[in-house]
Amino acid sequence: MADDPASGRDGSRRSPLHAHHLGLGATMVPFAGWSMPLRYQSELVEHHAVRQAAGLFDLSHMGEVHCVGRQVAEALDFALVGAISALALGQARYTMLCAPDGGVLDDLVVYRLAEQHFLVVANAANTALVRASLAERFDRFDATVRDASIETALIALQGPVAATVLAPLAGADLSALGNYRCVPATVLDHEVLLARTGYTGEDGFELFVRAEQAPPLFEALALRGAAHGVVPAGLAARDSLRLEAGMPLYGHELSTARSPYAAGLGRVVRLDKPGDFVGRGALSERQHETGERLVGLSCPRPPSPRAEMAVQASAEGDSGEPVGIVTSGAPSPTLGHPIAMAYVRTECAAVGTSLAVAARGRAIPVEVVPLPFYRRERPATPPRAADAEKEL
C-alpha cells in the first residue's frame, strides 16, 4: 500500500500514506516539494475536531536528521542557538538554526534519544539546508549527520482525547510522558518514537515510524479514534490551528530577514551557554533591536487580513501610513472572527492599539491583542517535564 515517496508525475514526493489519503477523498496539493492532503471533507470540521476531540495528521513531509558521535552535543551547541547539550535523555527542545548575521534559517525541534544521539526535525522546505548546514558546522567535531527523512514517516494525533485514544494502543500510562518528552514505544506492534509534541496548541503526540509501517498504523489510529470523534485532518486545519495558537510558520513569521528577537522568540537564544556558536556575535547585538515586533491582530468581522497585506496606522484606505505587514491571517473557527499575525513598528505594538489592514482599496480595522489567540488548559505534567517546557 505504501508508495514510492518520489513517484509523483510532477516530480513531487509522495508520503507513504498517499494512497490512503486518496482513498479518503482528500484534496491533494503541492507543499514544499511534496503532494500532501489539504483537507479531507472540510477544514472547518477538521479544525473543530482537533479542538474538541482530536485530529490525525500526516506530517511525513517533515525532515528527520539524525546526529550522532562522541562530540555531538557540543557540535549541536555550536550549530544551533539553544543549549542542546543540557537536554536530558528523552527530552525535546524548540530551537533555531541561524545564519552568521542572526537571520533564521529554520526553526527546529531537537530530541535527545541517547547520550550521543539526537534527532533534529526540520521543516520540509528546509531539510536539505538544515542537513548541509549541520554537516558543515560539525566539521570541527567528532560527530556525523544522517538524513533519514525518506525512510521515516511522522503521524500526529492532536487534541484533548489524544491520550485517551493512544494509551490503550500503546499499552502505557501516557500521563507519565510530559510535554516535550519522547520515549521509544510499541503501538499496535509497531516500533515508534513517541513524543508529546505538536503544532496545534492542543495536547497531543507525534509518532515517528518507519515509512512502510505508516499505513497500517494510521489506519488503526483512525479506526480506534473514530468512536472518540477523531478525524483525519489536513494542512488547512493545521495552519488555522497553529495560527490560533500563535505558533510561527517559517517563510511567514520566520525568515533570514529577521532574528529570533524580532519574532518575540529571543528566549530560545542562549547567549549564556559556554563556548561559541554560529551567529552569537550578531544575535548579541540584535537582541536590542527595537524597530518592529511580531503582534497579534484581531478583526471584529470579515474580511480577513492575509499575508503580505500592509498594516496602517489609520483607516484611510490605501493612503494610510504603513507601519507594518501581515505575515499570516485567516478566519478563526474557534474565536468566530478573523485574526492575524503581523510585524509592526514598536510604537504601534502595544496591546489595545487600533490599526488597519489595507485590502483592495479598503481598510480593515484591527486591534493589537496578546499572543497566542487561543490557549488550551494544559493537563498536569510531572515536575521535570514542566520545568523543561519553561526552558523553551
Q: What is the CATH number of the domain that holds 382?
A: 2.40.30.110
Which among 377, 288, 352, 359 is positioned nearest to 318, based on CA atoms? 359
Position 179 in a domain: yes
Residue range(s) defining the domain that contains residue 111: 63-136+259-289
350-355 own/partner pairs: CB under 8 Å, 24+ apart: 355/297, 355/311, 355/312, 355/313, 355/323, 355/324
Position 2 in a domain: no
Could you tell me if 325 and 390 lie in one domain?
Answer: yes
CATH number at residue 233: 3.30.1360.120
Position 126 in a domain: yes
Q: What does the pLDDT read at residue 357?
A: 96
Q: Is the pTM of this model over 0.85?
A: yes
- Cell, residue 40: 479531507
Could you tell me if 389 and 281 lie in one domain?
Answer: no
Q: What does the pLDDT read at residue 9?
A: 66
Could you tell me if 105 and 223 lie in one domain?
Answer: no
Q: What does the pLDDT read at residue 377?
A: 74
Q: What does the pLDDT read at residue 392?
A: 33
Burial of 257 (0-12, 13-18, 19+ CB in 10 A): exposed
Position 373 in a domain: yes
How far apart are alpha carbons 8 and 28 in whole angstroms? 12
Could you tell me if 37 and 155 lie in one domain?
Answer: yes
Could you tell me if 33 and 181 lie in one domain?
Answer: yes
- Cell, residue 291: 524597530
Cis amide prior to 370 (ω within 30 degrees) = no
Question: Per residue in 302-334, is it b (16+ CB within 10 Å) or e — as a string?
Answer: eebbbbebbbbbebeeeebeebbebbbbbbbbb
Q: Extract the residue ranges of the chain whose pLDDT is less than 50.
A: 1-5, 381-392
Could you tell me if 156 and 56 lie in one domain?
Answer: yes
Could you tell me if 351 and 297 lie in one domain?
Answer: yes
Could you tell me if 283 and 216 lie in one domain?
Answer: no
Could you tell me if 317 and 390 lie in one domain?
Answer: yes
Position 8 in a domain: no
Q: How many domains does the chain have?
A: 3
Position 3 in a domain: no
Could you tell me if 310 and 163 lie in one domain?
Answer: no
CATH number at residue 266: 3.30.70.1400
Position 249 in a domain: no
Could you tell me if 211 and 284 lie in one domain?
Answer: no
Could you tell me if 38 and 156 lie in one domain?
Answer: yes
Q: What does the pLDDT read at residue 7?
A: 58
Position 22 in a domain: yes
